[in-house]
Amino acid sequence: MRIGVPQETAPRERRVALVPESCKKLIQAGYEVSVETNAGAAAGFDDAAYTAVGCTIATDPATLFGSSDLLARVDAPSLDTPAREEVGWMKPGAICLGSLMPLRHLAVMRALAARQITAFSTDAIPRTTRAQAMDTLSSMANITGYKGVLLAAVELNRYFPMLMTAAGMVAPAKVFVIGAGVAGLQAIATARRLGANVLATDVRPEVKEQIESVGAKYVGIELKESAAAGGGYAKELSAEDQERQRQLLVEQCALSDVVITTALIGGVFAPRLLTADTVKTMKPGSVVVDLGADGGGNCELSRLGETARVGAVTIIAPLNLPATMPYHASLLFSRNLTAFIQAFTKDKAFQLDLTDDLQRGAIITHGGEVKHDRTRDALQKAGL
C-alpha cells in the first residue's frame, strides 16, 4: 500500500504531514512512502532526509496523487485550482487523512464524496484516552497558545516579569486568558513562565482546577445553563449568560495589560467575545492576541492575519500559528497521523473498520456519501 505525502500549498502553510522519522516507521510496517519534492523543505526536512529512510521522491504532483492509496496531508486538498487540481488527481477509492476542518471546507468535502474518496479528519477524532496520541487539534493548539504569548510579549510596552533593579521594582504584567482549552492552558503556562500575573476564565466552570494547576487565578460567572458540549468543547451560551459573561470580560480587560482569547465553539468557529466598546476600556499600550482568528476571530476589531492599532491598543490576529513553528509542528502532527495509521494497520495495509469508534468519529466521506453528521447538516444548510 502506497502512502503519498504532498507539498502543502495553502497560504502561510509551512508544515508537512509526515516527517522522515514517521516515514521510516511506516516503511518498516510494510508501506511504500512517496513524498513530493520539497514537501518538507519549509519545515527543515529536505528530500535527502526522506530518501535516507527509504522514501521515493515524486517530482510530478499529479502522479503522486494518482498513485497513492492513502494521502497524508496537513490541510484540506485544493479544489478548482487550475494548476493544482488535487481532488481531481486523487484516484477513486483512495484514503485522505489530515486535519481537513470539514466545516470550513464544505465544497471540498462534497467533492471528495463525489470522487469516492474515504476522508478522515483528525480534528474530528473523539477526544478519548485511546485517541490522545492521534489528536492533531491538541498538538497544534499547544503551539498556538505558546506562540501567542510570545507575540504579546514582543508587542507589549513593558516587561512580563516582576524585576528588582537598581532603579527600583518593576511590577509584573497582568495577563487575562479567555478560554481554557489546550491553547488557553498553554498560554497560561507560558505567560507564567515569563513571570506575568495571570487570570483566566472559561464558560466551563469544571476547568477551574486545570486553570489553577498551571498557575493562573480563575475568574468566572455562575451559568444558568451548562456550556459544556462534550469532548472538551464548549457550546454557545444563552443570551442571559452571554450578557453576564460580557460584563465579566469588560471588567477584566480594563484591568489587564494583555488579553489572550482562545475561544472556539465546537473547536471550529470563534464566538465574538470582545466588542469595540470593550477594547476602548483597555489601558493605553495594552495588547490583545486573538487566537480565535482561524475561526473568524474573537474580537470585533481584529483584522484577520494582521496586527492593528486601535487607539492605544494593539490587536494581533495571527492565522495558522502552528505553521510559524513548522519543525516541531510537523514533527508532532506527523506523530499524530502515524499513530492513527499504525492503529489500523494489518497485513501491511490500512484497514477500514467503521465499527471502530475512532474511525467512525473521524470519517467525513466514504462510498460517495458524506458520513459526518455535522458536515452533512452544514452542507444542507449551505445548499451544497
pLDDT of residue 127: 87
Cα dihedral 233→239→241→243 (10° resolution): 120
| pLDDT tens digits along 320-370 | 999 999 999 999 999 999 999 999 999 999 999 999 999 999 999 999 999
* Cα atoms in the Cβ-side hemisphere of radius 13 Å centred on 258: 33
* Cα atoms in the Cβ-side hemisphere of radius 13 Å centred on 145: 26
pLDDT of residue 225: 61
**DSSP symbols for 13-78:** ----S--HHHHHHHHHTT-EEEEETTTTGGGT--HHHHHTTT-EEES-HHHHHHH-SEEE-SSPPP
- The helix or strand, by DSSP H or E, that contains position 328, with its residue range, turns out to be helix 326-343
Active-site residues, by number, are 127, 132, 135, 138, 233
pLDDT of residue 316: 98
Q: How far apart are CA 137 and CA 257, in angstroms?
A: 28
* Contact assessment for residue 133 and residue 125, using Cβ atoms and an 8 Å cutoff: no
What CA–CA distances, in Å, run from 144 to 10, 166, 289, 318, 341? 18, 36, 11, 9, 25
Enter the pTM of the model. 0.93
Amino acid at 125: I
Sign of CA dihedral 205, 207, 211, 212: positive
Q: How far apart are CA 190 and CA 142, in angstroms?
A: 10
Cα dihedral 79→342→22→10 (10° resolution): 10
pLDDT of residue 345: 98
| pLDDT tens digits along 211-252 | 999 999 999 877 656 555 555 555 566 677 778 888 999 999
Please, what are the domains in the chain? 2-134+326-382 (3.40.50.720), 141-319 (3.40.50.720)
Residue showing cell 520539497: 38
pLDDT of residue 204: 84
Q: How far apart are CA 165 and CA 159, in angstroms?
A: 12
Residue of 232, 218, 134 whose CA lies nearest to 183? 232
Q: How far apart are CA 122 and CA 22, in angstroms?
A: 17
* Contact assessment for residue 53 and residue 28, using Cβ atoms and an 8 Å cutoff: no
Q: Which residues of the chain have pLDDT under 70?
A: 223-238
* Contact assessment for residue 270 and residue 179, using Cβ atoms and an 8 Å cutoff: no
Q: How far apart are CA 113 and CA 109, in angstroms?
A: 6
- How far apart, in Å, do the first and last CA atoms of the chain sit? 33
| 309 bridge partner residues | 314
* Contact assessment for residue 239 and residue 268, using Cβ atoms and an 8 Å cutoff: no
pLDDT of residue 158: 96
Residue of 264, 266, 273 whose CA lies nearest to 294? 264
* Contact assessment for residue 314 and residue 287, using Cβ atoms and an 8 Å cutoff: yes
Pairing assessment for the beta strands 313-316 and 287-290 based on DSSP bridges: parallel
The phi, psi pair for 197, rounded to 5°, reads -90, 115
